[in-house]
Structures are given as C-alpha cells and as structure tokens.
Amino acid sequence: MAKTNTNSVNIKNKRARFEYHILDTFVAGIQLGGTEIKSIRNGKASILEAFCVVENGEIYIRNMHIAEYENASFYQHKPKADRKLLLNRKEIDKIDRQLKTKGFTIVPLRLFVNEKGLAKLEIATAQGKKLYDKRQDLKEKDDKRAMDRVKKEF
C-alpha cells in the first residue's frame, strides 16, 4: 500500500496574528465525526471565523467550517457544529486561568494533519491589538518589502 502525503493539509488563520498579540500556543486534537476528517484531508475546512470557548472544564471550537464530504451518502455532518478540543487537564486549567484576565481570548491559528494522519489544531491564548498596534505592524511589513526590493536590485 502506497503512503499518501497527508501532511499537505495546512489551513492557516492569517488574520489572527494581525488582530491579536499571541501569548501561549497549544496543539490540540479535535474530536471529529466520520466524514469530517475526510473533508479536512481534502482541504475543505476554514478557521477564519472560528473561536474557542471553555465550557464545563472542556474547550470547544465554534464556527469552524468543515464542508460536507461529497462522496458520502446520507450520513453527513453539520458544517458549523461545535467540536471538542482534546487537551490535557494542565493545559485546560492554564488556558482557563489566562481567560479570567480581561481582554484575553482563545484563537485558532492553524489546522493541520500530523504524520499519523490525525487532525490537529494549533490554538493560542491572545489579547486583542489596538488600532495603533495594527498600524505599526503594517508599517513594519511595508518597510520590510521596501528593504527586500532594494536588496533584490543589488
């Protein structure tokens, strides 16, 4: 049996690093149903509008869109259902303590499939940036582009 390249799935949330100051990152497993993993392996998922919540000592991701699997019969999953994240108790407690501070949230950064073929989600505790922080990031990005253009000429 030929081994397929399952590591090609790497869905990023590019807005997260622009909108938030990233503090701690964690890698969590996701509790998925039957056809959900197949859609993720096909790259048919989005975490742009997703966010995480802590309920009853568990962490859930909400608003993560996983498209319905086109080759499935009538056993389909809900595209925007809440999905439980699999973390150990120490990590959940650490995240919960950080969320008690005003202005902190849990942001999904990246959805990927590891070498064992399991779907993983990289999440981070983050604090929202102010408008002037965002302007500073854009200015640094433009300066870096200008420097790269000058280097390219020589």
CATH assignment at residue 87: 2.40.280.10
Please determine, for residue 6, whether its predicted confidence score (pLDDT) is greater than 50.
no
- Nearest CA among 102, 99, 11, 119 for reference residue 53: 99
User: What would the mean pLDDT of 122-147 be, rounded to a whole number?
Assistant: 87
User: What would the mean pLDDT of 13-26 be, rounded to a whole number?
Assistant: 87
Cβ atoms of residues 120 and 113 within 8 Å: yes
* Domain-located, residue 136: no
Q: Within 10 Å of residue 102's Cβ, how many Cβ atoms?
A: 6
Confidence of residue 5 (pLDDT cuts 50, 70, 90): low
Domain count, the chain: 1
Cβ atoms of residues 64 and 47 within 8 Å: yes
Q: Within 10 Å of residue 3's Cβ, how many Cβ atoms?
A: 6
Q: Quick one: DSSP state of residue 78?
A: -
* Domain-located, residue 140: no
Six-digit token string for 24: 């701690």
* Domain-located, residue 1: no
Global confidence as pTM: 0.76
What is the domain extent for residue 116? 6-129
